[in-house]
Structure 1
């Protein structure tokens, strides 16, 4: 459903019956007259002799009206017939012309309705299969890119470590070689020093011999004739040192590469990314639609569309430790998590007894959520972090949100993703994380670049993947599809939304804090009914929550949580 005009938004919360002077909810539709009808007027319509053969259907099953196009030959007539032989659209007067005599004709509106439904189906495939599947594949590519970077960084670290190890070995061997050379040098020098001493002694000996010879030669007597001839010792022999020779190692760059190792790409075919067959999604969609139709057939149409008359109070909890109830989360076990505007977060059992109490920085927003795997997640605005509480009461840091302040949070029942409303410098966005805490998607602006959000306080997800937020500054419920494209905004006179949730039928349930009522919308933003008001005994509601058993919990400012049955 497209967003209503300002005039519609200001004056009504539902589609008005098309009958003159009737202001009831137009929950039915006449495909012949192309106008919405309330239940009473639809009965009168089929009782009227002029319209008794008209086709009356639920509004959501209506046929699209043929766009008005004037005939070029007969400007006062509308083109509404299709000639099967000529395969062209005509007006009724054209069909009587001679060139179309004997031809067969089809109702152009029927063809348009079929084509519209076909194109709508193809568009739905884009939204429900092609776009989400492509986004998932893109996420896989991004994850692979991260993995590649990590792998390459690991290889770089290993290569540097190998090079450092080789360098250390080279330094160690070089040090040992230098020590060996030092010893060799010392040994050779000691040998030469010894030889030097030998020659010093021999030279001294020669000096003495010279003096002795001079004494003999200086005698003038004949004693020299009778003395023994002095003999000179031979010159001592020594050896020259054998100098060591350095022989350089013989190695090449390839030898070093072998020592250091290298990067090898396995010789295998790249694995193709798995693309989920559209048939699987289509089958799942058909199965879900069939189940939904079967569920709706089990209930009377009037009861389904007038749920406020069937709401039954089942139980009421008075929550100790809080003075208001601004948000409620329900675990699979049925235990409740309740928070107030002062940052008190409490867990209570099925009897209303307090099990644990945590002081947080949260306030008047849906800042906690129960996950499908039994944990509870809550945001911390001051620390800009998201924490996780396990069933054994252990609190651990889950996600850091950087410069953005995490505000409200919701855990998807479809795939476990975490949807978080973020605020920074007057801007707001919705960030999707995987259940492991990896950032997947950011939703902030529409196709025209305009801000989608102003101050969303509560967030939830519908069965079709739509992300629904209640924005108190815009005084609207803003709904985008899984891809982040805006589907519609729901507004109304005297309207300020607070708590919001969805149910198994795709209904959107929300609190209007200005008139203390709870509304029920359809999946496309159409107003269905007021399901709770002061007439049912509620007092200033602030939050709504639906569990897996279709129980409706309403949190109120008088520290009570009331349990209702509203589906049959």
Structure 2
């Protein structure tokens, strides 16, 4: 009996090993393998960015060299012109001397004795002095003084964020035992969700579903949808409010403000830009605020967290131009998007930002009056500047079909584009009650949320069927 009980205990331990410890360890191996791929991807992105920066620097060096050579060419022309003038002056003087010699020979004839006598008494015997000429002073080239370190500074730097490495999460045994494999119901729900996405299409009309009042905001300049029906809404002046679906205020914080400056991560944390201190802060579900990312010399102004891979896209500005920086979910800089293949600046003020289903990064640039779209490698795909007239783009989002939806403050409408930037329609206009649309997002049920300037309400529409 005692032996049987002991055997039973060991069988239980073997079951634990096979049911929890072994598969959990295998999952960790898969996670590590995924990290290897991610690290390789990040470093390849860094290498690509470095090469791009080097190419830009080479182009600048070529431009400066061309300008300086042109300066040398102009100086050469000026000096040669001066020397040519001196040479012509000497030629003229030699001709004068030859003419004078001929004249004097004429006086030597016995028949010209009177003229010779007269010439000796006149000033004709005075020979003009030789013209003065000067040697040119050529320019001197002084080589620039620079070092390897100086060039390295121009090409940016590689930094490791001062972020503590996070331990990998290991599910407790009691949770893991029920979550190691998806249930039949979960698999069925996943299939149904995929089938829905494949059968969705644009509806022939747009229907208002509901409205929510957002207290203490005044203007809904940006919306970030969270989990469990909770969402964050902000105005331009730093008021950031979290409410539920009934419009109840759950919390409110004061920030430095902006437009598309907050987003909710895969883990349900809110992250938002602090333009005053040039950092990005994180608010965890227990309302703890921590500094997440420092943006150094750039001022962050828009942010979006991809729900596909967790990457964080941040729009930034400095005194001259804008850029988009991609961070992974731990806050490591893995990509900078700033110029097109011709070296031209892509952004002036990336006010709102989002990511499409194909990985395209879509930006509302209100100074360029354009929606600027690049692919996931940072290559410029297209810029949308309006339909019939210029646009003043504000809030931007995408849906499961790859559509791009953007608020236009000029036409007071929401423009609908396809994945390649082709205009589809004015999805919402004043006919649907729009006055000053400035924020949009699409929820998990494929409904469109719209916020407006000077209106404390969020309106939800159904536009897919």
TM-score, structure 2 as length reference? 0.58
Aligned to 2:431, the other structure's residue is in SS state helix
Does 2:222 correspond to 1:327? yes
Aligned to 1:535, the other structure's residue is in SS state helix
Change (3 A) 1:382 1:353: same
Q: Kindly provide the CA deviation profile for residues 434-463 of structure 1, in whole angstroms up to 9, marking residues without a partner as x.
A: 100111110000011000001111000000
Aligned counterparts of 1:504 and 1:296: Cα–Cα separation in 2: 7
| Residue 390 of structure 1, CA deviation | 0.8
Does 2:393 correspond to 1:497? yes
Change (3 A) 1:331 1:297: closer
Q: Kindly provide the CA deviation profile for residues 298-354 of structure 1, in whole angstroms up to 9, marking residues without a partner as x.
A: 45xxxx45x4x4211111112111111100000022211000011100001110011
Equivalent of 1:551, from 429, 447, 450? 447
Does 2:435 correspond to 1:435? no
| Partner in structure 2 of residue 421 of structure 1 | 315
Q: Kindly provide the CA deviation profile for residues 138-157 of structure 1, in whole angstroms up to 9, marking residues without a partner as x.
A: 525799xxxxxxxxxxxxxx
| Residue 546 of structure 1, CA deviation | 0.7
Aligned counterparts of 1:351 and 1:371: Cα–Cα separation in 2: 23
Is the Cα–Cα contact under 8 Å of residues 447 and 463 in structure 2 kept in the other structure?
Answer: yes
- Show the 5 A alignment for 1:16-415: 137-140=40-43, 298=199, 304=201, 307=203, 309-363=204-258, 365-415=259-309
| Partner in structure 2 of residue 470 of structure 1 | 364
Change (3 A) 1:293 1:358: closer
Worse-matched range after superposition: 533-542 or 477-486: 533-542
Aligned to 1:566, the other structure's residue is in SS state strand
| Residue 412 of structure 1, CA deviation | 0.6
Is the Cα–Cα contact under 8 Å of residues 292 and 505 in structure 1 kept in the other structure?
Answer: no
Is the Cα–Cα contact under 8 Å of residues 332 and 548 in structure 1 kept in the other structure?
Answer: no
Is the Cα–Cα contact under 8 Å of residues 332 and 372 in structure 1 kept in the other structure?
Answer: no
Does 2:340 correspond to 1:446? yes
Is the Cα–Cα contact under 8 Å of residues 317 and 348 in structure 2 kept in the other structure?
Answer: no
| Residue 565 of structure 1, CA deviation | 1.3
Aligned counterparts of 1:310 and 1:462: Cα–Cα separation in 2: 23
Aligned counterparts of 1:437 and 1:298: Cα–Cα separation in 2: 36
Change (3 A) 1:501 1:537: same
Does 2:460 correspond to 1:560? no
Change (3 A) 1:517 1:438: same
Aligned counterparts of 1:462 and 1:507: Cα–Cα separation in 2: 8
Aligned to 1:310, the other structure's residue is in SS state strand
Change (3 A) 1:457 1:564: same
Change (3 A) 1:376 1:292: closer
Is the Cα–Cα contact under 8 Å of residues 521 and 529 in structure 1 kept in the other structure?
Answer: yes
Aligned counterparts of 2:294 and 2:326: Cα–Cα separation in 1: 13
| Partner in structure 2 of residue 532 of structure 1 | 428
Change (3 A) 1:561 1:527: same
Q: Kindly provide the CA deviation profile for residues 56-81 of structure 1, in whole angstroms up to 9, marking residues without a partner as x.
A: xxxxxxxxxxxxxxxxxxxxxxxxxx
Aligned counterparts of 1:345 and 1:549: Cα–Cα separation in 2: 24
| Residue 530 of structure 1, CA deviation | 1.3
Is the Cα–Cα contact under 8 Å of residues 316 and 349 in structure 2 kept in the other structure?
Answer: no
| Residue 494 of structure 1, CA deviation | 3.3
Structure 2 residues without counterparts, runs of 5 or longer: 1-35, 47-190
Equivalent of 1:509, from 405, 416, 428? 405
Q: Kindly provide the CA deviation profile for residues 399-450 of structure 1, in whole angstroms up to 9, marking residues without a partner as x.
A: 1111111110000111001100011112100000110011111000001100
Aligned counterparts of 1:141 and 1:444: Cα–Cα separation in 2: 17
TM-score, structure 1 as length reference? 0.48
Is the Cα–Cα contact under 8 Å of residues 328 and 543 in structure 1 kept in the other structure?
Answer: yes
Structure 1 residues without counterparts, runs of 5 or longer: 1-132, 144-289
| Residue 294 of structure 1, CA deviation | 6.3
Aligned counterparts of 1:519 and 1:141: Cα–Cα separation in 2: 36
| Residue 297 of structure 1, CA deviation | 6.9
Does 2:382 correspond to 1:479? no
Across the aligned residues of Structure 1 and Structure 2, the Cα RMSD in angstroms comes to 2.3
How many pairs align? 283
